[in-house]
Each structure stands twice: as C-alpha cells, then as structure tokens.
Structure 1
Amino acid sequence: VREKGIEKIASAALEKLKDCEQIYISFDVDSLDSSISVGTGTPVPNGLTVEEAIQLNAELIKDKRVCCWEIVEVNPTLDTENTMAEAAFEVLETTTKSLVDNY
C-alpha cells in the first residue's frame, strides 16, 4: 500500500476479481498497525494506519459488485480503552459514506 498507493492496490485487487459477479469484503482489524489494533488477538507491526484503511475500503466499496462489507476481529475484552472500537467505527462510518456517495 505504501509503495504503490491505495488506488493502485485497490485497482489491482479488483482486477484480480474481474470475473466475479459479486464481491464480499471482510475488513479484518488485524490489518491495522499494532499501535491501533490493541483490541484484537493478532496485532501486526507496520500495519495500515486508520487513514490508509479508510482510503482502501472507500475505494473498494465503489465497485458496484460489492454485495456485502463487514468489519471483523474487534475484541472488546482486549480493547479496554475502546481504541480499536473507535478506529473501527471511523472506518465503518467513512466506508458507508463512500458507499452512499457512489450510489
């Protein structure tokens, strides 16, 4: 994502799925950087920033073949400061806005 940019990565992913009639996006919060993903069982160093996740999901959701989108792996028992839930909600809110704006 950082080397090629969000638009190229989203475009490449959608190109690989060009023969699919429907696309189901499952956004795993484990992909976020470990400084953000404190409320998940598998934090990843050097993962996506919240802004990168927002941009990537907003770009992917523009494809008319997307039939479902979800966020997974938020674990409230590990998220004692509500950091992950707030980041996940920000991704959800912006992705939903992108969806509404493109339909």
Structure 2
Amino acid sequence: MHETQGRWAAMVEQSQHGQEAYVWALGPIQPAASREHARAVAAELARNYRPTHPRRLRRRTVFQQSEDTLFVVLEGMTSKYHLRISVVELVADLDAEGRPFQG
C-alpha cells in the first residue's frame, strides 16, 4: 500500500461566476484523521463554511446526497449559489512523471 493511501479529508467545491455562466471551483480541503472524522468535518463545513458569495446570506439549505457527500444551497438577497462537500481519500500524490511527489 502506498504511503499516501488512507489520508482522509473533507473537500469543498463551490459555484462561482465564470465569464458567461456559473463554474465549479475548488474550495478548501480540510484534512481529517479518519473517514468518520472527515464526515464530521464535512457536516461542520456544510453548516458553517462561508464562501465569498453570496455576500449577504439569507438562507442555507443542506442536503445529504450520500454518506460522503453533502450539497448546500446558499440563497442571498438576489442570487443562489451552491456547494458540494465530499469526503475524500487521498490515493496518490504524483509528480509529472508519475512518481510519488516529493514536495
């Protein structure tokens, strides 16, 4: 087993304005000690993470899509944004040649 396997995290993906449409952007990745810990971190992020938009949050609706995925709808005064928060496991961290990355 490679040394990077088994490292868990909660990862945020968020909608942002692109040039002509909304696009997905990577938000924070919060490391966790285990899958269960990553699930707890994800739940906390779903309830409390504050992205740049909407600037004035009116409402936050949290949906559980699966044990490892939460979907959050953020309603501002004039627009809606959304987040996907996933529990992820790092299975490889490689350089351009496919070798283990040596930071």
TM-score, length of structure 2 as denominator length: 0.28
TM-score, length of structure 1 as denominator length: 0.28
> Looking at CA atoms only, which structure, 1 or 2, has the larger radius of gyration?
2
